């Protein structure tokens, strides 16, 4: 039963990510932008075939391979590692984000992004989960010296 909770967290992140991307795909055409919270947050549909910030778009296959390895390693750490507490929850969020973007890469050959905050790249729920999850894993590691 101990292993089930991180799986449910990761699956919930993937479901939320894929659900919001499905909505964005239905509601926005590529390049279309409209305000969500005035000019503070906009909905802007972008297809990103590359890595973070759209880097290296010609290497989509490599990003699929790297993402698949990252998802497998995170899954193994969560199922068989000694991560506890915050590190375990954060790892599950990170796993869900990585898996959500991997689904896009395999399915479409790009990641669908749609949340735009001025001064930042356009992102999605999976990107947010990756950043938050990685930050919380780092915090847990710094706080206890080990992922416990």
* pLDDT at residue 37 in the model: 93
* Per-residue pLDDT, 83: 81
- Which residues, other chains included, contact 71 with Cβ-Cβ below 8 Å and sequence gap of 6+? 95, 98, 99, 102
- For residue 81, the model assigns a pLDDT of 81
Identify whether 127 is a catalytic site residue: yes
Residue 138's pLDDT is what?
92
Pairing of strands 111-116, 33-37: unpaired
Whether 39 sits among the annotated catalytic residues: the reply is no
Quick check: 118 and 35 in contact, CB under 8 A? no
Taking CA 71 as the corner, what is the angle to CA 75 and CA 111, rounded to the nearest 5 degrees?
145
pLDDT at position 58: 60
Instruction: Catalytic residue, from 17, 39, 104, 113: name it.
Output: 113
Q: How many other C-beta atoms lie within 10 A of the C-beta of residue 111?
A: 27
pLDDT given at position 148: 45
Catalytic residue among 17, 39, 104, 127: 127
> What per-residue confidence (pLDDT) applies to 1?
41
pLDDT in tens, the chain (148 residues): 455 688 899 999 999 999 999 999 999 999 889 999 988 999 999 998 866 655 555 656 767 888 899 899 999 988 888 888 888 999 999 999 999 999 999 999 899 999 999 999 999 999 999 999 999 999 988 886 554 4
106: enclosing H helix or E strand: helix 85-108
Question: Counting Cβ atoms within 10 Å, is residue 39 exposed (0-12), middle (13-18) or buried (19+)?
Answer: exposed
């Amino acid at each position: 039963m101990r292993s089930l909770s991180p799986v449910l967290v990761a699956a919930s992140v993937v479901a939320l990510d894929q659900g919001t991307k499905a909505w964005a795909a239905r509601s926005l055409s590529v390049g279309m932008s409209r305000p969500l919270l005035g000019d503070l947050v906009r909905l802007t549909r972008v297809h990103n075939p590359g890595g973070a910030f759209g880097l290296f778009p010609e290497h989509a296959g490599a990003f699929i391979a790297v993402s698949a390895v990252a998802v497998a390693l995170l899954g193994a750490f969560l199922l068989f590692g000694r991560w506890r507490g915050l590190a375990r929850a954060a790892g599950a969020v990170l796993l869900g984000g990585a898996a959500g973007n991997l689904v896009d890469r395999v399915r479409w050959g790009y990641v669908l992004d749609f949340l735009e905050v001025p001064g930042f790249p356009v992102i999605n729920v999976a990107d947010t989960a990756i950043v938050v999850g990685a930050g919380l894993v780092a915090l847990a590691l710094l706080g206890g010296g080990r992922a416990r």
